[in-house]
Amino acid sequence: MARRSDILLPACWVSVLAFLYLPIGILILFSFNRSKLTASWEGFTFDWYLALAHNGPLLSSLWNSLVVAAATTAIATLLGTMAAYAIDRGLNRRQEQLVDAIIHLPIIIPEIVIAASLVIFFGLIGLRLSVVTIVLAHVAFSISYVILTVRSRLAGMEPALEEAAMDLGADEWTTFRTVTLPHILPGIVSSGLMVFTLSIDDYVITSFVAGVGSTTLPLSIYSMVKQGVTPEINAVSSLLLVGTLLMAGVAQRLSHTLEE
């Protein structure tokens, strides 16, 4: 029996990994394909990456995506952390339950409903659709993730620590800065990273609230796919993947050092 599970278990996780990562591997492989077709392999080339460097519209949509993701991350983590702190410290149990339910809503509500309601809302207050509305929309749907992550860090914190700091003469701001913040920082960093990735690959909501001069990368790729998937799309997807992986690695190391 033991021997059978020796074979079965590795086979199991290898096939799960293959299922998860084989498509991505093939996508990267074919971004180096000499052929214009995604159907057959015809030799190695860097041409598509060079072509990418000259594809103005695609590059400007990449820039839009980065700006939106960076702004969303900054705003959502700042507001989300503040909200989490306020909820943790300022509310009684019943209020907390109510607020909890409200915070979970944006995660549960279908994206398409959020998108439609945001468009109607922006129309009502007369805000023109642009990069700004995309950022606002992204903050709206991603802030819940920050609140939840940071709150779980706050919940695991010993209240005696803050009390000790106050006893030693630190005011509230100093206590927050030197005791509370370092403790919840890993939560902030990891939720910030999550917000960044959520923002950079969002299609449904972005397609509704995008306006003049604000085509993001996912929108641009969707419209290009109309004419068939080209190796250029593979190339830009691979770059995005490598970039995100690098960022995840850096953030992980950062949060490790912060935790120590």
- The number of angstroms, rounded, from the C-alpha of 39 to the middle of its chain's C-alpha atoms is 31
Asked if 237 interacts with another protein (CB under 8 A), we say no
Residues in binding contact with another protein, number by CB under 8 A: 48
Our CB check for another protein shows the closer of 38 and 244 to be 38
Q: Which of 149, 152, 156, 64 is nearest to 107 (CA)?
A: 149
List all residues 6 or more positions away from 5 whose beta carbon is below 8 Å from its beta carbon.
none
- The correct pick among 147, 219, 235, 236 for binding another protein (CB under 8 A) is 219
Which residues sit opposite 44 in a β-bridge?
Answer: 33
Dihedral in degrees, nearest 10, Cα atoms 151, 153, 159, 164: -130
Asked if 98 interacts with another protein (CB under 8 A), we say no
Our CB check for another protein shows the closer of 51 and 100 to be 51
Asked if 128 interacts with another protein (CB under 8 A), we say yes
Measured from the CB of residue 134, what is the shortest distance to another protein in angstroms?
Answer: 11
- Which residues ranging from 239 to 258 are in contact with another protein (CB under 8 A)? 257-258
Distance (Å) of CA 128 to CA 57, 70, 124: 22, 21, 10
Measured from the CB of residue 190, what is the shortest distance to another protein in angstroms?
Answer: 15
Asked if 200 interacts with another protein (CB under 8 A), we say no
199: exposed, middle or buried (C-beta count within 10 Å: 0-12, 13-18, 19+)? buried
Q: Which of 237, 255, 229 is nearest to 200 (CA)?
A: 237
| Residue 246: strand, helix, or coil | helix
HSE of 129 in the Cβ direction (CA atoms, 13 Å)? Answer: 17
Encoded one letter per residue, x for contact with another protein by CB under 8 A and - for no contact, window 19-58 reads -----------------xxxxx----------------x-
- The correct pick among 30, 122, 141, 145 for binding another protein (CB under 8 A) is 122
Residues of the shown chain interacting with another protein in the complex, contacts defined by CB under 8 A: 36-40, 57, 67, 70-71, 74, 78, 119-120, 122-123, 125-132, 177-178, 181-182, 185, 207-208, 210-215, 219-220, 222-229, 257-258
